[in-house]
Amino acid sequence: MKPSLINILSFLFPIILFLSTLLPSPTDAAGGRWQLLQPSIGISAMHMQLLNNDRVVVFDRTDFGLSNLSLAVGKCPKNSKDCTAHSAEYNVATNTFRPLTVQTNVWCSSGSVMADGTLVQTGGSFEGERRVRLFKPCSDNTCDWQEVDLGLANRRWYATNHILPDGREIIIGGRRQFNYEFYPKTIDNKVYDLPFLAQTNDKGIENNLYPFVFLNVDGNLFVFANNRAILLDYVKSQVVKTYPQIPGGDPRSYPSSGSAVLLPLKNIQAKNLEAEVLICGGAPKGSFTQAMKGKFIPALNTCARIKITDPTPNWVVETMPSARVMGDMILLPNGNVLLINGAGAGTASWELGRDPVLTPAIYRPGNIIGSRFELQNPTTIPRMYHSTAVLLRDGRILVGGSNPHSGYEFTGVLFPTELSLEAFSPSYLDNPNLRPRIVLPASQTKLKYSQRFSVRFRLTGKLDPNSLSTTMVSPSFTTHAFSMNQRLLVLPTIGKVKNLGKSTYQVDVATPSSGILAPSGYYLLFVVHREIPSQGIWVHIN
C-alpha cells in the first residue's frame, strides 16, 4: 500500500520544523545592542564632534526657539532674549552634559578639528553665515565657544570642510556658493571658483549641498556632488580627473542625502596605494518635488563603490538590505562600515521623511558582493532629518538628534523633536571578554611620520596573528548624513608578533609617511583581533 501524500507530509513536517529552528532568522542573526544614555540633553544633536578628551560637542541652531537646557547667569548670548543653550558638551566617561554658548546661528554648518585639537566650526545661517567658531577642549569645564566675526570670505551654509596636509582646512561650497576657501587666512585669503558645483546644481532643488569630500592618497581632493565626482587639485584650482556619473544618475547629495565614506586605507607603504569611496542610499530624482506635494517616494536601496585611484575608474553597484535616505555611515575600528539612522522614503528637509529605518547594518568591504551586509538589532527611536552618529573611543557609536521641524515640536507631529542620546554597541562588543586591551603606549602619545613604535596588548584566549591588525581612526564632524574628515588607516606590521607571556603580546607597527595619508592631529588607535577591537587610545601625529 502506497503512503498517501498526507501521511508523507505528516511525517516530514516535524523534521522540517526542527531543521528550521537550526537556521538563523534575521532576528536571531542580528547582533549589537542599544542603551539609552540620556532621555534628554535639552537640545537636538544636529551636529556632533568627538574631541581628544573623550567629550562630544553637540549643537543644533539658535532660532529653533527656547531649548530645554538653560544657560548660567552671565552666559546668555549678547543681544538675545533667548538664554537657553543651543550647544552642549557631553562627557562620555561620566555620562553628563553641560551647556555651551553660541552667539550666532550655527544651523547647517560644518567643521574640522585642527592639529592642536581645536574644533573649528564654520558658517551657519543668517548672521552666522560668515562666522568661525573655535572650541578648544579642556578638563575643567571652563572652555566655551569663541567666535570670529567675518572669519570667512563668503557665506557658508550647507558647506563641507576637510583638514589638509598643511594643517589648514578647506571649506567647499554651500548654498549658492560655487567656490571654496581656506581657514585660517594667514597663508591664503582668496576665494577660488569651482564651476563643478554650479554644474551639479539642480535648479530649485540643488542636490549638491554638503558635497562628499575626501583627501586622496595623491594629495588631491575627491569631491562628489549630486551624482558625479571630480578630483580637484585645490592648490592650482584645477580639475585633474572627472569620474563617470554614478549608475542610474540619481542624486546622492543633500537634500537627496545619501552618505559616503573613504574605505580603509591598507598597505599604506605600497608604491601604488589604492583608495576606494563607498556611497550608499539617497533619494531618487524627483523625490524632493514629489515630497513637497505629499508623495513620498521610496529611498534608494543601492550602494556604489569606486576605486578613485584607478586610471580608468568605474562604479560597482550593490544592493543594501533596505532603502535608506538621511542615514549615517561610520567607519568602525575593524574596518567595517556601519549604516545607521535615516528613513525609507522621502527626502531631507522639513517634514519630508517617512518610514524610519530602525535597523543598522554592517558593511564588510572585504567580502564578496552579496555577502557584505549584516543586519544588527534595531532601536526603538526614529532618527530622521537632523540626526547624527559618531564613533567613541570605547568602540560604541553615540547616536542623537532627529528634528524634522523648524522648531522644537514634541506633540501632535509624526516624528517629535528628539533630545535623547543613545549608544549603539555593534556586534563586535557582544562578548567583551574577547577584546584585546592595549597596555602600551599610553593614551595621548605623540608620534611622528614614518615612525616605528611598539604596541603592547593583553588578550584572553589564543592569538591568531593572521587576524591581528592595528588601525588609526580620525574622529569625524557629523551632520546631515555625512561625517567630514572621517578616515581609517591600517598600520603596517613590522616583523612577527611577540609573545611576552601572561597573555601579553607586542606588535611593532609604523605610522603613515606623510600628512597626505594622515593629516596632523589626534587619532584613535585600536588593536583589532578577529574583527574585535580594543578600546582605543588617543595618539597625536605631527
If we measure between CA atoms, which residue out of 226, 220, 217 comes closest to residue 238?
Answer: 220
d(CA 407, CA 140): 32
What is the CATH classification number for the domain harbouring 369? 2.130.10.80
Residues 334 and 199 in one domain: yes
Q: Considering the domain boundaries, does residue 15 fall inside one? A: no
Q: Considering the domain boundaries, does residue 519 fall inside one? A: yes
Residues 363 and 320 in one domain: yes
pLDDT at 188: 83
Residues 321 and 463 in one domain: no
Global pTM value = 0.93
Residues 6+ apart with CB under 8 A from 63: 105, 107, 125, 126
Strands (DSSP E) along 357-481, which ranges? Answer: 361-363, 373-375, 387-391, 397-401, 421-425, 437-440, 445-447, 452-458, 468-474, 477-479
pLDDT at 150: 94
C-alpha cell at 217: 592618497
pLDDT at 2: 42
The residue written with cell numbers 573611543 in the block is 393
Residues 439 and 403 in one domain: no
Residues 392 and 309 in one domain: yes
**Residue numbers of the domain that contains 527:** 432-541
Mind listing the pLDDT tens digit of every residue in the chain (542 residues)? 444 433 433 443 333 333 333 333 333 357 999 999 999 999 999 999 999 999 999 999 999 999 999 999 889 998 888 999 999 999 999 999 999 999 999 999 999 999 999 999 999 999 999 999 999 999 999 999 999 999 999 999 999 999 999 999 999 999 999 999 999 998 888 999 999 999 999 998 999 999 999 999 999 999 999 999 999 999 999 999 999 999 999 999 999 999 999 999 999 999 999 999 999 999 999 999 999 999 999 999 999 999 999 999 999 999 999 999 999 999 999 999 999 999 999 999 999 999 999 999 999 999 999 999 999 999 999 999 999 999 999 999 999 999 999 999 999 999 999 999 999 999 999 999 999 999 999 999 999 999 999 999 999 999 999 999 999 999 999 999 999 999 999 999 999 999 999 999 999 999 999 999 999 999 999 999 999 999 999 999 99
Q: Is 21 helix (H, G, I), strand (E, B) or coil?
A: helix
- Asked if residue 135 lies in contact with residue 186, where contact means CB atoms within 8 angstroms, the answer is no
Residues 379 and 527 in one domain: no
Q: Identify the burial level of 397 via C-beta atoms within 10 angstroms of its C-beta, where 0-12 means exposed, 13-18 middle and 19 or more buried.
A: buried
pLDDT at 78: 87
What is the CATH classification number for the domain harbouring 529? 2.60.40.10
Q: Considering the domain boundaries, does residue 28 fall inside one? A: no
Residues 470 and 408 in one domain: no
Q: Considering the domain boundaries, does residue 195 fall inside one? A: yes
pLDDT at 30: 78
pLDDT at 187: 80
Residues 275 and 245 in one domain: yes
Q: Considering the domain boundaries, does residue 134 fall inside one? A: yes
Provide the domain count of the chain: 2
Q: Considering the domain boundaries, does residue 25 fall inside one? A: no
* Alpha-carbon distance values, 238 to 174, 234, 252 (Å): 19, 7, 24
